[in-house]
């Protein structure tokens, strides 16, 4: 590849710039994650904080290491763009809050090295790095990745203090059994497999509660749907993302679940349960809108989002795993180039196929 003409002093117009930058964009997304993250810390205590911190540090470290191995001269500039930090942050949000330290490190390695740098670094990866790591961890280490805890706010007496939190995180202190819990999706899946239908399992006293504010067991950052949603709305308002993908994801999940629940409430979870469980909102606003791995046009993003929503519902309802968001996103990531090929904008003066519009012949020549 000949880059010589482009590295020279640019002489072509424009001689002005709108001021947007990758760093600024990534910073805004991180800002949008802050409320849900802080709430997660409060909800799940010190172990969750250590997990979050180490996942981000691991991502930054592996990013720097990969760049160094490749002999890149732009290590600092690349770390400065904030993308590795964001990947780590998003990955941490999807992990069980009390996952041990090595989950964070292995996750960071998979996300950055295998999910991103192997493809050629920022902008080149086919799959969302955080989702690659999350799925690889889930498939490889199913036990620590499905150990949920009941929320135990930091102010609670039984909550681990700083030292205990660190020890739980480092694995030297076993998790107290009393606070182990199941997520709602996992619980219903297990009960269904035991032949207990939804009406009975959810009616039982052990059924995990579901609440908008996230006071329930689940991943560290995604249980507080309302706060994640607020972050998403902030991103919409400052035009970092458009409405297409999130709306399509939620619609793709809501429509089949509404139909299913209406037909047979004993076997199909309600719309509310689907939307508030697992990674639905986080996935819709923060993962499906990942620039690199989603289609370029609004129409393409709608197809992409509907696919994610529908696949999530299918996996949750009929698949072996209780949660399917990450799998659905990876599947649709793979389809993105195809969607991009078909969902192109129409060029002015041309029809959808790229043929020039006809010159009207009505006037006398």
Partner 1 sequence: MGFMNLFKHFLSDGWGVHPDDHKRPAADAPVRIMPVPTKLYLPLQQHLGGPARPVVLVGQKVKKGEIIAEAQGMVSAPIHAPTSGTIVAVTEVTAPHPSGLTLPAIILESDGADEWCELRGCNDPFALEPAEIGKRVAAAGVVGLGGAAFPSAVKLIGASRAQVTTLVINGGECEPYLSCDDRLMRDAAAGIVDGIRIMLHATGAQIALVGIEDNKPEAIATMAAATADFPQVQVRPVPARYPMGSEKQLIQVLTGIEVPADGRPADIGVVVHNVGTALAVRVAVREGKPLISRLVTVNGACASAPGNIEVRVGTLAEEVIAYAGGLKGEGLGLARRVMGGPMMGMQIPHWRVPVVKGTSGILALDAGEVAEQEPNPCIRCGSCVKACPMGLLPLEMSARIRSEAFDEAIDLGLKDCIACGCCAYVCPSRIPLVQYFVHAKGELAAQDRAKLRTEATKKLAQQRQERLEREAREKAEAAARRKAEREAAAKATAATAETQGASA
Q: Contact positions toward partner 1, by CB under 8 A? A: 1-3, 5-6, 10-22, 24-25, 77, 81, 83, 121-124, 242-243, 291-292, 296-299, 340, 344-350, 354, 356-360, 363-364
Which residue number, 72 or 175, has a Cβ lying nearer to partner 1? 72
Query: What is the phi-psi region of residue 330: left when phi exceeds 0, alpha when psi lies from -120 to 50, beta otherwise?
Result: alpha
How far, in Å, CA of 228 to CA of 198, rounded?
27
CB closer to partner 1 out of 20 and 211: 20
Task: Indicate the residue among 156 and 346 with the shorter CB distance to partner 1.
Answer: 346
**What is the distance, to the nearest Å, from the Cα of residue 308 to the centroid of all Cα atoms in its chain?**
12
CB of 333 to partner 1, least distance (A): 12
Cα separation, 332 vs 326, in Å, equals: 10
Q: Which is nearer to partner 1, 10 or 176 (CB)?
A: 10
Query: Cβ distance 309 to 254 under 8 Å?
Result: yes
What is the rounded distance in angstroms from the CA atom of residue 220 to the CA atom of residue 279? 11
Compute the least distance from the CB of residue 1 to partner 1, in Å. 6
Least distance in angstroms from the C-beta of 102 to partner 1: 30
Instruction: Tell me the closest approach of the beta carbon of residue 109 to partner 1, in angstroms.
Output: 22
Q: Which is nearer to partner 1, 194 or 363 (CB)?
A: 363
CB closer to partner 1, 146 vs 296: 296
Task: Output 99 or 131, the one with its CB closest to partner 1.
Answer: 131
Residue 15 CB, nearest distance to partner 1 (Å)? 4
| Residue 298 CB, nearest approach to partner 1 (Å) | 5
CA distances from 106 to 83, 130, 202, 261, 307 (A): 18, 12, 35, 39, 29
In whole angstroms, the minimum distance from the beta carbon of 25 to partner 1 comes to: 6
The DSSP annotation for 54-106 comes to: HHHHHHHHHHHHHHHHTT-S-HHHHHHTSHHHHHHHHHHHHS-TT--HHHHHH
Nearest CA to 214 out of 11, 28, 48, 29 is that of 48
Helices 83-94 and 101-109, packing angle to 10 deg: 130
Q: How far is the CB of 132 from partner 1 (least distance, A)?
A: 17
Peptide bond into 14 cis (omega under 30): yes
Q: Which of residues 25 and 257 has its CB atom nearest to partner 1 in the complex? A: 25
Kindly list the distances between the CA atom of residue 264 and the CA atoms of 210, 256, 314, 361, in Å, as whole numbers in the listed order.
20, 12, 15, 60
Closest CB to partner 1 among residues 71, 349? 349
Please compute, for residue 256, the number of CA atoms within 13 A of its CA located in the half-sphere on the CB side: 20
| Backbone torsions φ then ψ of 149, nearest 5 degrees | -125, 150
Q: Provide, rounded to whole angstroms, the least separation between the CB of residue 16 and partner 1.
A: 4
């Amino acid at each position: 590849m000949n880059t010589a003409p482009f590295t020279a002093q640019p002489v072509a117009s424009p001689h002005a710039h709108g001021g947007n930058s990758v760093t600024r964009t990534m910073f805004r997304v991180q800002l949008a994650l802050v409320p849900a993250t802080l709430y997660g810390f409060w909800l799940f205590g010190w172990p969750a904080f250590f997990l979050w911190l180490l996942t981000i540090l691991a991502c930054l470290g592996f990013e720097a290491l990969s760049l160094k191995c490749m002999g890149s001269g732009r290590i600092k500039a690349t770390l400065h763009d904030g993308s590795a930090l964001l990947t780590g942050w998003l990955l941490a949000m999807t992990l069980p809050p009390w996952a041990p330290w090595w989950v964070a490190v292995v996750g960071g390695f998979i996300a950055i090295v295998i999910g991103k740098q192997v493809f050629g670094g920022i902008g080149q990866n086919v799959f969302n790095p955080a989702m690659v790591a999350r799925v690889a961890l889930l498939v490889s280490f199913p036990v620590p990745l499905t150990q949920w805890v009941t929320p135990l706010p930091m102010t609670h007496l039984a909550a681990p203090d700083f030292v205990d939190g660190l020890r739980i995180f480092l694995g030297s202190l076993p998790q107290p059994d009393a606070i182990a819990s199941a997520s709602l999706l996992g619980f219903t899946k297990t009960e269904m497999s035991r032949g207990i239908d939804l009406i009975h399992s959810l009616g039982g006293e052990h059924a995990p509660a579901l609440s908008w504010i996230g006071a329930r067991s689940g991943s560290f950052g995604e249980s507080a749907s309302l706060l994640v949603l607020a972050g998403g709305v902030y991103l919409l308002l400052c035009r970092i993302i458009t409405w297409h993908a999130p709306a399509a994801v939620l619609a793709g999940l809501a429509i089949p679940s509404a139909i299913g629940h209406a037909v047979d409430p004993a076997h199909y979870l309600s719309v509310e349960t689907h939307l508030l469980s697992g990674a639905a909102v986080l996935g819709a606003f923060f993962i499906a809108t990942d620039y690199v791995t989603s289609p370029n046009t609004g129409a393409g993003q709608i197809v992409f989002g509907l696919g994610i929503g529908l696949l999530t519902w299918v996996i949750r309802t009929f698949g072996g795993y209780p949660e399917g968001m990450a799998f659905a996103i990876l599947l649709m990531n793979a389809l993105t180039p195809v969607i991009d090929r078909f969902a192109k904008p129409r060029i002015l003066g041309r029809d959808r196929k790229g043929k020039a519009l006809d010159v009207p012949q009505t006037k006398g020549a």
